[in-house]
Amino acid sequence: MAGFTDTFGVTHPILLGAFGGLSSVALTAAVSNAGGLGAYGLYGYDGDRIRKTAAELRAATDKPITLNIWLPMGDEAVPTAQHAVFAQALEPFYSAVGVETPARPESYMPSLEEQLDAIWEAAPAALSVVFGVPSPELVAEARGRGIRVIGTATTVAEAVALDEAGVDAIVASGSEAAGHRVSFLKPAEDSLVGTFALVPQVVDAVRAPVIAAGGIADRRGVAAALALGASGVQVGTAFLATRESAANAAHREAIRSTAADESVLTRAMSGRLARGARNRAVRAIEAGGMIAPFPAQNWLTGKFRGPAGQQNLGELQSLWLGQSAPLARGDSANEVFAELAAGLR
């Protein structure tokens, strides 16, 4: 643990999960100020929005933070004609929140280069990546700027690939975890390894410090992760349930009320496999069988998910949560952090 805390400049090896679309400055700063490594997900952020967010984070904390990005996998293009078909399938949801069916955008996502340019300017303590292995150029640029790089793996083979790329730490994400399964060597459905099985095998296979993720929400999970050889833990759902997060009341209620065996893995909301609550939108989209590939599906559903969130309509949101949701009992980030830190002892 000492090696990890020294490398990343933190007091406790507790990392906040980076929530694409659900990160908040308040929660990121709270975790960093408590002595952990706060994280902020930049999925879909263009350069200007990254710069603005980084400035807000600097104003909220002078402690180390991590910025998180999704690496492109080459599946980002959807022809206009297909877009129209997929959009039409979602028309009932657009009507439900009072928005027009959206036309195809010029681009579903900002370019990686635009995001990285802004991140280099922001100079976070660490850059974490999901859905792939960072290029040698990215690792070299980060290292030259004093920025640590964290990769994320769902299998041992992915962890080895990240280790060979020279990342500074590897998050071993078990299938219990909330949100997207960030597999990149094989389909996510073929990469569902539980945290208890994944972490020790990754520890044995790589040189980089390993961060356990998935199913960890209290001191018992932290102690178990350390016993498996992890150098620290990454926690998402327990922090997502706190008042500092960007989750609305309906989402926090879903976390409190969804049993471990009631969360599901679905491609309905984004086109990529992710774990969350099976609400009305998920059930209807799965039943319709019309799911666009990522990132088109994520963009299309986002056009009703955003207004649904503002209207606190949980049945039309992406209610990401992990199998540890019943253990997410803290109301504040500091309360959750203190509970997790107790497991370090």
| 313 within a domain of the structure (yes/no) | no
With respect to residue 308, please indicate whether it lies within any of the assigned structural domains. Answer: no
How far, in whole angstroms, is CA 275 from its chain's centroid?
Answer: 11
Tell me the Cα Rg of the chain: 19
CATH of the domain at 25: 3.20.20.70
CB 305 within 8 A of CB 316: yes
Residue 318 lies in a domain: no
| In contact, 96 and 119? CB cutoff 8 Å | no
E-assigned strand segments in 219-278: 232-235, 263-266, 274-277
Find out whether the peptide bond into 124 is cis, omega within 30 degrees of 0. Answer: no
Confirm if 326 and 259 have CB atoms less than 8 A apart.
yes
Model pLDDT, residue 3 = 79
Distance CA 281, CA 170 (A): 33
- Examine residue 79 and state whether it is found in any structural domain, yes or no: no
User: In the numeric block, which tokens belong to residue 47?
Assistant: 């350069």
Nearest to 320, CA basis, from 261, 249, 247, 260: 247
pLDDT for residue 1: 60
- Spatial distance between the Cα atoms of 308 and 312, rounded to a whole number of angstroms: 6
The pLDDT tens digits along the chain (345 residues) read 667 999 999 999 999 999 988 999 999 999 999 999 999 999 999 999 999 999 999 999 999 999 999 999 876 667 777 899 999 999 999 999 999 999 999 889 999 999 999 999 999 999 999 999 999 999 999 999 999 999 999 999 999 999 999 999 999 999 999 999 999 999 999 999 999 999 999 999 999 999 999 999 999 999 999 999 999 999 999 999 999 999 999 999 999 999 999 999 999 999 999 999 999 999 999 999 999 999 999 999 999 999 999 999 999 999 999 999 999 999 999 999 999 999 998
pTM: 0.96
Q: Which stretch of DSSP H or E encloses residue 65? A: strand 65-70
Residues 6+ apart with CB under 8 A from 38: 16, 27, 28, 29, 30, 31, 32, 61, 63, 64, 65, 66
pLDDT at 2: 63
Is residue 285 in a domain? no
Q: Rounded to whole angstroms, what are the CA distances from 86 to 156, 180, 265, 344?
A: 35, 21, 21, 48
Q: Which residue has the tokens 């370090």?
A: 344
* Residue 255 resides in a domain: no
Count: domains in the chain = 1
In a domain, 199, yes or no: yes
Strands (E) located in 110-190: 126-130, 148-153, 169-173, 179-180
Give the pairing of strands 274-277 and 179-180.
Answer: antiparallel
Q: Is 85 among the domain residues?
A: no
What is the C-alpha to C-alpha distance for residues 178 and 170, in angstroms, rounded to an integer? 17
148-153/169-173 β-pairing: parallel
For residue 177, give its domain range.
2-72+110-249+327-342
